A and B are shown apart, each in its own frame.
Chain A
Amino acid sequence: MKLFEYQAKEIFRKFNILTPKEKLANNEYEAIIFAKEIGFPCIFKAQVLVGGRGKAGGIKRIENEEEAKRFAKEMFLLKIKDIPVEKLLISSFVDIKKELYLSITIDRQEKIPIIIASKEGGIEIEELAKERPETILKINIDPLLGFKNYQGRNLCLELFGDLSLVNQFNELLQKLTTIFFLYELQLVEINPLALTKDNNFCAIDAKIIIDDNSLFRHPEFKNYVTQEIKNKIEEEAKSLGFSYIKLEGKVGCIVNGAGLAMATLDLIKKYGENPANFLDIGGSTNKERIEKALKLLIQDKDIKVILVNIFGGITRCDDVAYGLLSVIKEINIPIVARLIGTNQDKAYEILKDTNIILIDNMKEAIKKAVEIAVKS
C-alpha cells in the first residue's frame, strides 16, 4: 500500500523528522486560506499516487494571493495520468543549500534492507541509476542487528566530504530505519532531502510503501485512504479477494494461478488480441467464486469473449463447471472454456449441452477466443 505524501510526512513528524510547514487542503478555498496562513512564497503539491507529478503540473510555486487563487482553482481541476487531484498539500518554501536523495528499501537479491543515498537529489532514482549510477551509494543493513552508526559516518563522509554533519545525519538515518522496521515498509524515500541554509535536514518530499502482507499487524493503516484502486470493478474484485487488474483489450480472462494467468495473457497477445484483464481466481476455488468472477467480468463492457483457463489441481474442474452453468443464462457473450486436471471428465459432462465452447488444449482455446474477439 502506497501512502500519500501528506500521510508519509505525518509519520515523519511523529518521529521528529523535519518537514516544511504544511497544511492539507480539500478544496480550492481551503487552499487559498492555508496559503495565506503559511505565507508566500509557498508550494502547492497535488496529492496523487503516480510518478511524474511535477512534469504534469502537479507542483507549483505560489508567489502571492493572486497566484494562490488561480492555481488553487486550476490544480483541483487537474488530472494526472487520469487521476483527479482531490487534495492539495500547501507547503512552506524552504531555503535549500543542497538537495540529496535518501531511501531505505529491500534488496531482493541480497534479501536485506539497504540504504540508498545520492548527492543528486530531486530527480527520480530510476533516471539517476541510468544516467549517473556512480553517484548512487548503498549501505547494507543487517536485518537482525539494524543500522550501525559507523555506516552512517562513512556515508556522511562520502556525501559531504567531511564529518561536520555526522550527528544530525546519523540521527536522521536512525529515525528512518526505525520507521522502516516498525511499519514493515517496502520503501521509505525522501527525495529531495534538503540540507537547509541553517544546516538542518528537511524532508521536502516523502514516499512510503507498506508491505501488504504485514498490514494485519498494522491496524493503524486500516482506514487510510488510497488511490491505487482506480475503478469500480477493481474495487469489487479486491473485496472478493481476487487478484484482478484491468487491461485494455477485448478478451476477458479467468485463470487459476498467477503464472498461468500471465502466460495466458501473453498468448492472447501473441495470437493477435489484447487481454481485457488479469484475473487469478486462486488455488482452491469453488462454484460460488467462479460465479462471482464471471459476474465481475461482464461488468466490463469492453469484453467480447470470456476465456476460462483452468489447470485443476486443488481447483476441481467440476466446481468450475457448476459455477459456469449457474450464471450462463445471464451472460450474452461467448465463453471459451478450457478445463483440465482434477475431475475434468465430470466438468465436460456438466457443460456438454450448453453453448460454452469447450476446448481442452490451452493454445487452441486461446486461438478460438482471439478469433471470436477479432470478429466482434
Chain B
Amino acid sequence: MSILINRNTKVLVQGITGRDGQFHTQRMINLGTKILAGVTPGKGGQKIKFPNSEPVPVFNSIYEAKKYFEFDASVVFVPATFATDAIYEAIDENISLIVVITEGIPVHDMIKINAYLKNKKSKLLGPNCPGILVPEEVKIGIIPHEYFKRGIIGVVSRSGTLTYEISYYISQTKYGISTIVGIGGDPIKGMDFVDILKLFNKDEETKVIVIIGEIGGLDEEEAAKFVKRNIKKPVFGFIAGKTAPPEKRMGHAGAIIEQGRGTAQSKIEAFISAGIEVFEEPQEIINLLEKINL
C-alpha cells in the first residue's frame, strides 16, 4: 500500500481553470488519478476536456460540487492572494486531505489555518509543495512521474527538484519507491516530517525511508528524535544548504539560518545521533541502498 492516496482516491482540483491547474490536472489524469471535478469561483458550469478522459466539470464552489460528487482529497493551485480562502473552504467542506501547491501564502495565514485545523477532520500538505506521488499508480500535485519506479522506499522531503534528483537515483536501484511526499519549503506548513514518518512506519510496502531536509527551522531535528524512538526500518538522510550563508533566504521561504539556528551541521548531527545514515551527494544513495539487506 501507498500512504495518503491510492488509485481510488477521489480528487477535486481547486483553481482548475488556471494555466498551472489545467496543465497539471492533465498530467495527473495521464497517470491515472481520479479527478472528478474542479472549482473556480465564477467559472462554474463549464466542462474542461482532457484527452483520454471524461470531461471534468467545473463548479463555483465545493458546496456545489459536493451535490454531485464525494471527494477524498483536493489539490490547490489557486494563486497566493486567494489560496487561504480556498483552503478554509476545503476544511469547512470536510475534505480529508488538502494538498497546497501554491507558493507565497502569508505566514500569518498559515498559523491561523493550522490553529483552525486543530479540531477539524482535514489534513493539510504544503503549502509550496510538489505534492504526493505513488509511482506507476497515482499522484496529487506536480511531481514529474515519468522518472520514478515503484518499489519499497518511502521518500519525504522539503524540496521539489532535489527530491526528483534523489528519487531518480533511487529508481535506478532494484528497490524503487513506495510513495514520495513533498511537505513543502515554507516555514509554517501543514504536515511535518514526523506526520509522514508515522505513516511510512506503519506502511507495509515501505521498507526503507529517505528523508531529504534542508537548512532552516527544526523539522529535521524533530524527525531525528522520532526516528530514534520509533522507527526500526533503515532510514537515510540528506541535508541541503551546508554552504548557505546565515540570514539569507535560500529560495524557499523556510530555508534560512536564523539566529544561528537551523544550520545544516545541526541537522546532520541530529540525523547521525538518531542512527540515520547521512549521504552527501544525491547519487550516493545508490551505493547505500545496494549495501542493505532486506
Given contacts A243-B251, A314-B144, contact A257 B161 (CB under 8 A): yes
- CB-CB under 8 A from A327, the residues of chain B are none
Tell me if A184 and B108 are in contact (CB < 8 A): yes
The residues in B between 224 and 282 inclusive whose CB is less than 8 angstroms from any CB of A are: 238, 240-245, 248-255, 259-260, 264, 280-282
- CB-CB under 8 A from A91, the residues of chain B are none
Tell me if B159 and A260 are in contact (CB < 8 A): yes
Tell me if A258 and B185 are in contact (CB < 8 A): yes
The closest CB in chain A to the CB of B101 belongs to: A283
Tell me if B80 and A213 are in contact (CB < 8 A): yes
The residues in A between 215 and 255 inclusive whose CB is less than 8 angstroms from any CB of B are: 216-217, 243, 245, 247, 255
Tell me if A213 and B159 are in contact (CB < 8 A): no
Tell me if A258 and B217 are in contact (CB < 8 A): no
In the complex, whether A214 has a CB less than 8 A from a CB of chain B is yes
Give A332-344 as 1s and 0s: 1 = Cβ < 8 Å from B's Cβ atoms: 0000000011100
The closest CB in chain B to the CB of A130 belongs to: B260
Tell me if A265 and B222 are in contact (CB < 8 A): no
In the bound assembly, the distance between CA atoms of A267 and B242 in angstroms comes to 9
Given contacts A144-B116, A247-B245, A362-B282, contact A211 B108 (CB under 8 A): yes
Apart from A262-B215, A363-B281, list 7 A-B contacts with CB within 8 A.
A143-B115, A144-B116, A255-B161, A263-B162, A265-B244, A313-B164, A314-B23
What is the interface size of chain A, counting residues whose CB is below 8 A from a CB of the partner? 55
- CB-CB under 8 A from B281, the residues of chain A are 267, 270, 363
A: which residues have CB within 8 A of B?
106, 108-109, 111-113, 125-126, 129, 142-144, 181, 184, 186, 211-214, 216-217, 243, 245, 247, 255-263, 265-270, 274-275, 278, 280, 283-284, 311-314, 340-342, 361-363
- CB-CB under 8 A from A262, the residues of chain B are 162, 214-215, 240-241, 243-244, 250-251, 255
- CB-CB under 8 A from A245, the residues of chain B are 245, 248, 250
Tell me if B217 and A259 are in contact (CB < 8 A): no
CB distance from A104 to the nearest CB of B (A): 12
Tell me if A106 and B187 are in contact (CB < 8 A): yes
The closest CB in chain A to the CB of B262 belongs to: A108
Tell me if A312 and B144 are in contact (CB < 8 A): yes
Tell me if A259 and B107 are in contact (CB < 8 A): no
Tell me if A266 and B241 are in contact (CB < 8 A): yes
Most buried by A among B108, B144, B253: B108
Give B200-227 as 1s and 0s: 1 = Cβ < 8 Å from A's Cβ atoms: 0000000000001011011000100000
- Interface extent on B, as a size class? 35 or more
In the bound assembly, the distance between CA atoms of A361 and B161 in angstroms comes to 15
Give B106-122 as 1s and 0s: 1 = Cβ < 8 Å from A's Cβ atoms: 11111110111000000
The closest CB in chain B to the CB of A243 belongs to: B251
Can you list 8 A-B pairs with a CB-CB distance of less than 8 A? A143-B114, A213-B104, A214-B109, A257-B160, A259-B252, A263-B282, A341-B144, A341-B164
The closest CB in chain A to the CB of B188 belongs to: A111
The closest CB in chain B to the CB of A113 belongs to: B111
Tell me if B222 and A109 are in contact (CB < 8 A): yes
CB distance from B31 to the nearest CB of A (A): 13
Tell me if A311 and B165 are in contact (CB < 8 A): yes
Contact of B280 among A258, A270, A340, A341 (CB under 8 A): A270
- CB-CB under 8 A from B240, the residues of chain A are 259-260, 262-263, 266
In the complex, whether B33 has a CB less than 8 A from a CB of chain A is no
Tell me if B107 and A213 are in contact (CB < 8 A): yes
Tell me if B111 and A143 are in contact (CB < 8 A): yes
In the complex, whether B12 has a CB less than 8 A from a CB of chain A is no
In the bound assembly, the distance between CA atoms of A362 and B283 in angstroms comes to 8
The closest CB in chain B to the CB of A263 belongs to: B240
- CB-CB under 8 A from A311, the residues of chain B are 161, 164-165, 168
CB distance from B258 to the nearest CB of A (A): 9
In the bound assembly, the distance between CA atoms of A275 and B244 in angstroms comes to 10
Tell me if A261 and B250 are in contact (CB < 8 A): yes
In the bound assembly, the distance between CA atoms of A314 and B143 in angstroms comes to 8
Tell me if A108 and B244 are in contact (CB < 8 A): no
- CB-CB under 8 A from B259, the residues of chain A are 125-126, 129
- CB-CB under 8 A from B109, the residues of chain A are 214
Contact of B250 among A126, A278, A341 (CB under 8 A): A278
The closest CB in chain B to the CB of A214 belongs to: B106
Given contacts A143-B114, A341-B147, contact A266 B242 (CB under 8 A): yes
Tell me if B165 and A362 are in contact (CB < 8 A): yes
Tell me if A108 and B243 are in contact (CB < 8 A): no
Most buried by B among A213, A268, A270, A342: A213
Tell me if B162 and A144 are in contact (CB < 8 A): no
In the bound assembly, the distance between CA atoms of A245 and B246 in angstroms comes to 12
In the bound assembly, the distance between CA atoms of A112 and B117 in angstroms comes to 13
Tell me if A186 and B282 are in contact (CB < 8 A): no
- CB-CB under 8 A from A186, the residues of chain B are 107
In the bound assembly, the distance between CA atoms of A211 and B23 in angstroms comes to 30
CB distance from A323 to the nearest CB of B (A): 17
In the bound assembly, the distance between CA atoms of A245 and B214 in angstroms comes to 17
CB distance from B270 to the nearest CB of A (A): 13
Tell me if B161 and A265 are in contact (CB < 8 A): no
- CB-CB under 8 A from B164, the residues of chain A are 260, 311, 313, 341
Closest 6 CB pairs of A and B: A259-B159, A258-B251, A257-B161, A259-B162, A313-B144, A214-B106
- CB-CB under 8 A from B245, the residues of chain A are 245, 247
- CB-CB under 8 A from A213, the residues of chain B are 80, 104-107, 253
CB distance from B19 to the nearest CB of A (A): 9
In the bound assembly, the distance between CA atoms of A137 and B189 in angstroms comes to 25
